[in-house]
């Protein structure tokens, strides 16, 4: 069930009405409703994988209690490693087994040995990387004595499978979400209006920006040999806008939907394309994943409180694992290593926390220096996205090689359809609104205090019309495959 589907348009109001007007006086009933709705939402993808989600949930719930009850460190470690092994095992089998089997066969072929590996012909369970990381953080936090095990199975199950975040995050922490699940929520009209506004902005980014850019990005990437270098650059820019509109749009819809039920999820994007360096970019892009790797991998490795050589090592490990988390393909690994190289100067010279504030805070326009920094950071990001988008390393290298051919200096050729003629105006509107709202939680977060009523309503009607008119062109969210 896609957020931008007619089915979800029916599903959400029904759950909302039952939640606030039928079960609103009973917290247990509300949480049970959220759990039932979440399982139904997930079953709409493939009911077979619902049982995998339920098994993973019960495993971490049970091992969490067993760790809390353990009288010895040895017993606690046993339950901890049981949960970690099974969770990583499921993720490895479904997501990475074929990659390792095929890579091993290719390695043997280089020394003259021919092997035909046995591979799995299975569909990757949607959202498995996200809900697995929910469970892993919960189990690790109990093991480290940061939290106590949750005894209420319904509350814990809602934490793992709350439908707005289930299939593509943000990756929540038990310390943040569980207390909200266990606490009574009150009907707040202002919060609900704010949630609807954030959902609308997410739909704008997904349907009007991402899906329209995707059509051109797919056309260019899938037929790179037929296009000039300048057109390939346009393809890379289209994908850069597609993946941002797609994933940040999903996150806005997820956070806005959670607000409708009185729950605040972790912020996942903070205007990353306005970043002045790569370190800032990674503090603003997929924030929940970056923070997860920081807290559960980077800091345990020693973080930044070690020698420069070890900081370099830790940084490469983080980005290598991040690339591999996105998919079992060498293109993702190279994408991760590229970002590690980008960030390396700031690690070596200890300037990685230089830009912690919002760009041009309190000002209408940035300085010339800031503009140059943003353009450099954006250009590096666009280049790295080429590897992320291409299916193979060879395809990515060919794409890049052709960009820097003599055809770089020709005019790009994009089909002159009515929609393509409108896309530059849509993109301008995206960046304009995000720029003026960059100091808010999301772009439209403070719109009612900054813009006259008639302009706000004009924008809302434009978004509504655009979403309804263009939704037939929509596609699945990119991060569902991870």
The confidence score (pLDDT) of residue 83 equals 94
d(CA 144, CA 149): 12
> Over the stretch 227-273, which tens digit does the pLDDT of each residue have?
999 999 999 999 999 999 999 999 999 999 999 999 999 999 999 99
Mean pLDDT of 158-162: 96
pLDDT of residue 158: 96
Please count the residues of the chain: 482
Angle at 171 between CA 168 and CA 172, to 5 degrees: 130
CA atoms within 13 A on the CB side of 189: 0
Contacts of 308 (CB under 8 A, 6+ apart): 347, 348
* Residue 457 a catalytic site member: no
Concatenate the DSSP letters of all residues of 70-103 into one string: -SSHHHHHHHHHHHHHHHHHHHIIIIIHHHHHHH
Query: Which pLDDT tens digit goes with each residue over 276-303?
Result: 999 999 999 999 999 999 999 999 998 8
Confidence at residue 293, expressed as pLDDT on a 0 to 100 scale = 94
Who's near 181: CB < 8 A, 6+ residues apart? Answer: 31, 155, 158, 159, 162, 263
The phi and psi torsions of 250 (rounded to 5 degrees) equal -60, -45
Between 123 and 445, residue with greater pLDDT: 445
Is the pLDDT at 474 greater than 60? The verdict is no
Q: How far is it, in rounded angstroms, from Cα 402 to Cα 132?
A: 40
pLDDT at 482: 65
Q: How far apart are alpha carbons 88 and 107 in whole angstroms?
A: 24
Count CB neighbours of 129 within 10 A.
Answer: 23
Beta carbons within 8 Å of 108's beta carbon, 6+ residues apart: 114, 115
Name the nearest CA neighbour of 277 among 205, 369, 400, 389: 369
Per-residue pLDDT at 99 = 67
> What pLDDT, on the 0 to 100 scale, is given for residue 167?
85
C-alpha angle 233-234-238 in degrees, rounded to nearest 5: 120
CB count within 10 Å of CB 8 equals 17
473 pLDDT more than 70:
no
* DSSP 8-class letter at 409: G
pLDDT at 105: 63
Model pLDDT, residue 277:
95
Q: What's the pLDDT at 173?
A: 93
Cα three-residue angle 376-267-140, rounded to 5 degrees: 110
- For 364-392, the pLDDT digits (tens) are 999 999 999 999 999 999 999 999 999 99
Q: What is the pLDDT of residues 401-434, one digit of tens each?
A: 999 988 888 888 888 887 888 999 999 999 999 9
pLDDT tens digits for range 110-119: 676 666 666 6
Residue 1: what pLDDT?
A: 76
Residue 220 has φ and ψ, to the nearest 5°, of -80, -45
Dist CA 245 CA 214 (whole Å) = 10
CA atoms within 13 A on the CB side of 422: 8
Distance CA 167, CA 190 (A): 27
Residue entry with tokens 């943003």: 374
The H or E element spanning position 298 is: none
Please give the Cα distance from 390 to 236 (Å, whole number). 10
**Highest mean pLDDT pick, 71-75, 102-106, 453-457, 474-478:** 71-75
Cα angle 243, 245, 248 (rounded to 5 degrees) comes to: 90
Model confidence pLDDT, tens digit, residues 1-30: 788 888 889 999 999 999 999 998 899 999
Q: Is residue 204's pLDDT more than 70?
A: yes
Query: Tell me: the pLDDT tens digits for 341-367?
Result: 999 999 999 898 889 899 999 899 999
The percentage of the chain sitting over the pLDDT mark of 70, rounded to a whole number, equals 93
Return d(Cα 479, Cα 482) in angstroms, integer: 5
pLDDT exceeds 80 at position 108: no
Average pLDDT, the chain: 90
Nearest to 433 by CA among 252, 201, 247, 210: 201
Give the pLDDT confidence score for residue 447 in this predicted structure. 76
DSSP string, 440-481: SSSTTTTHHHHS-HHHHHHHHHHHHHHHHHHGGG----GGGG
* DSSP letter assigned to residue 204: I
Q: Which of 134, 227, 286, 326 is catalytic?
A: 326
């Amino acid at each position: 069930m896609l957020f931008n589907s007619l089915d979800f348009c029916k599903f959400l109001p029904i759950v909302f009405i039952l939640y606030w007007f039928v079960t609103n006086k009973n917290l247990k009933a509300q949480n049970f409703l959220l759990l039932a709705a979440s399982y139904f939402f997930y079953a709409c993808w493939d009911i077979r994988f619902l049982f995998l989600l339920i098994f993973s949930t019960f495993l971490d719930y049970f091992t969490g209690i067993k760790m809390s009850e353990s009288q010895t460190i040895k017993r606690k470690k046993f339950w901890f490693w049981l949960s970690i092994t099974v969770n990583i095992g499921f993720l490895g089998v479904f997501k990475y087994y074929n990659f390792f089997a095929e890579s091993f066969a290719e390695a043997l072929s280089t020394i003259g040995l021919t092997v035909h590996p046995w591979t799995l012909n299975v569909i990757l369970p949607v959202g498995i990387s996200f809900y697995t990381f929910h469970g892993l953080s919960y189990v690790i936090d109990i093991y480290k004595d940061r939290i106590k095990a949750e005894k209420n199975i319904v509350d814990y199950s809602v934490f793992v499978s709350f439908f707005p975040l289930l299939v593509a995050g943000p990756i929540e922490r038990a310390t943040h979400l569980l207390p909200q699940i266990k606490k009574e929520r009150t009907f707040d009209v202002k919060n609900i209006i704010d949630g609807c506004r954030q959902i609308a902005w997410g739909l704008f980014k997904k349907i009007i920006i991402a899906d329209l850019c995707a059509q051109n990005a797919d056309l260019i990437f899938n037929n790179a040999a037929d296009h000039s270098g300048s057109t390939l650059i346009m393809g890379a820019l289209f994908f850069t806008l597609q993946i941002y509109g797609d994933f940040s749009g999903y996150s806005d819809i997820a956070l806005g939907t959670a607000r409708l039920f009185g729950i605040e999820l972790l912020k996942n994007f903070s205007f990353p394309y306005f970043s002045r360096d790569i370190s800032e970019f990674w503090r603003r892009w997929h924030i929940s994943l970056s923070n997860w790797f920081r807290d559960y991998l980077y800091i345990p490795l020693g973080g930044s409180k070690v020698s420069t050589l070890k900081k370099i090592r830790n940084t490469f490990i983080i980005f290598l694992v991040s690339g591999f988390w996105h998919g079992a393909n060498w293109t993702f690994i190279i994408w991760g290593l590229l970002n590690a190289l980008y960030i390396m100067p700031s690690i070596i010279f200890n300037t990685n926390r230089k830009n912690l504030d919002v760009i041009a805070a309190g000002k209408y326009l940035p300085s010339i220096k800031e503009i140059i920094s943003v353009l450099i950071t954006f250009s590096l990001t666009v280049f790295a996205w080429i590897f992320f988008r291409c299916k193979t390393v060879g395809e990515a290298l060919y794409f890049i090689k052709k960009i820097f051919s003599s055809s770089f200096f020709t005019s790009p050729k994009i089909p002159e359809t009515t929609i393509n003629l409108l896309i530059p105006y849509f993109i301008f509107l995206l960046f304009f609104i995000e720029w003026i709202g960059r100091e808010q939680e999301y772009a439209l977060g403070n719109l009612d205090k900054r813009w006259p009523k008639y302009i706000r309503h004009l924008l809302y009607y434009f978004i509504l019309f655009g979403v309804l008119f263009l939704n037939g062109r929509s596609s699945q969210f990119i991060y569902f495959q991870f």
